[in-house]
Structure 1
């Protein structure tokens, strides 16, 4: 009974962990998409400011856990890392490029539904990079499922831009449509994200799944890179500051908690949307990094694609985004392919090789060799007694 009680307790703990992680991923990431769309509708090209705010806030939140103050030192120091710094720096470079490309694409007439569907093609990029870079081989069922996802992405992409009439403002160099530039940015982001996933998988397999350390260093080490975009970030901040002011006491939670202390305070509405985006991003990436330590990359991809389906539905319902029949068919192929991929799994288990017993060439005895020391002693004793 004691063993059964311990097993039940362990099962409850595991179930509660999964509920927490899935709540973080679905609640945080879906809220993040809602706040993101609210921002890009008024200031389409504010991706650099959003990314910088997310990275800065997550770094500040994680800093106390990764520094300590030695007794004989004047300044605090970082705690000893479980993973070498150069491994984190490679992942930081890839993660930073992926975040920048995905946010920049929103400024080139890429709708949030198309953004969600296109990024769902990560399974295709993972399989392609795994085949060519890591020399992995996949079952035919998985290839078919991935082809379904690929076809769905292409159909949804073409359906999304087929009704757009190019205007003078939306045509860039040599007659190239803006949405083509956005799709190219998304494509590059998906490929880099697949390479990041393979590198992260190899790192965790070698050094252990230290997801909190990865969450901190993936954001902290990328902060100096934003100096390249400081002018763009400043102009985007001014654009957010020009939005209509909102009194803080008019907000449901803030007004009830702080009361008259903030009665006269007011902030631009888009800064509140940015704060909501940053907070939800912290919850979202915490759930994703934590799930990497609890499950396989396949399970993580399936959960993330299901989360994107929920985000897509919310985007259509809340922001009245237009969805064509072709785009609906493409979405269906994407998520059906994802489901089929998850059902295939990782292929049949490897066949266990038969054990062979090595014998001395001069031995004619058909008795198997002894395995343990006690067996050898017993056999020597029987031989001595028989003689």
Structure 2
């Protein structure tokens, strides 16, 4: 999958720099065009000549060492990369990238590129666990930067713990998987709903639910990574839109229904991850309701069932995936919902479990189709869950063909 891909390998100053030679070698042997950038500190651990021989390309070390007068080296590298791999990624380069610092060739090139970036951290366990480093990594993850988590074990400094750079084989495998995933949904159009809907009571109050939209936004990012054109219909959430995605903001259930039905005929995949309000107030006041009584009664009426509408109107070539957030009898309720609403897959989770509820960065899910359970996933980051689900979507189209 990396054959003919332009991969920039950034090497920073850590003892794990010697492993980068194997990363460069394995990628080159698989047909990748590997261009290496080394920081000055990296050259203290391994020589540019070693990487030049293994990559068959000039190794960039100095921002001002321009080999080709027709281009600016770091801009040329930034523009033409299909993927940036930083291995090892020290605390220093993580901090620079998180805060937009560019004071040598690697950080300058990273600021200029639009290519996907993956970091393989390597450092002392206490450095890795430092709140500042963790915060910087969290900032980068929110921006869509990938991480290959370090291994646990004996570190060069003598400590034992997490901080040892992932083995070269794992880094190369990650790159292979990344490019494979990029192709899965190329040419497909995916419609995803996310977040809650709000149903007003009066101009200052509403009824809703605890949905944060994180799962739906993760799905949108994963679908985009897989090469799909993505339309994200979202209720009110405090989340940044992943790059390259068309976002449509809605508030009420009826607004979400109208947006979904508008785009439904033109898409290949519908993923309904939004937590839509099942009921709305029967009457919406045009003025603020005053607190004058000890008790009040609120009459609620059902909202329209968007999932059922989709299930009835979707075409055979369209894949329909839904979500079921339950607190008990999860499999029973999820499978019943799948059949009643005409879904192809349903992703069920018990929101009462720690790490699986609304607002969490992780999820624990089981996927069902019309024949029963497809697979279960342990507690995972929601983006990782989303990527697994996109693989399933890609498989559905492959098998359908």
Structure with the larger strand share: 2
Give TM-score scaled by structure 1 length.
0.21
Structure with the larger helix share: 1
Give TM-score scaled by structure 2 length.
0.20
Larger Rg: 1
RCO comparison, higher one (Cα < 8 Å, 6+): 1
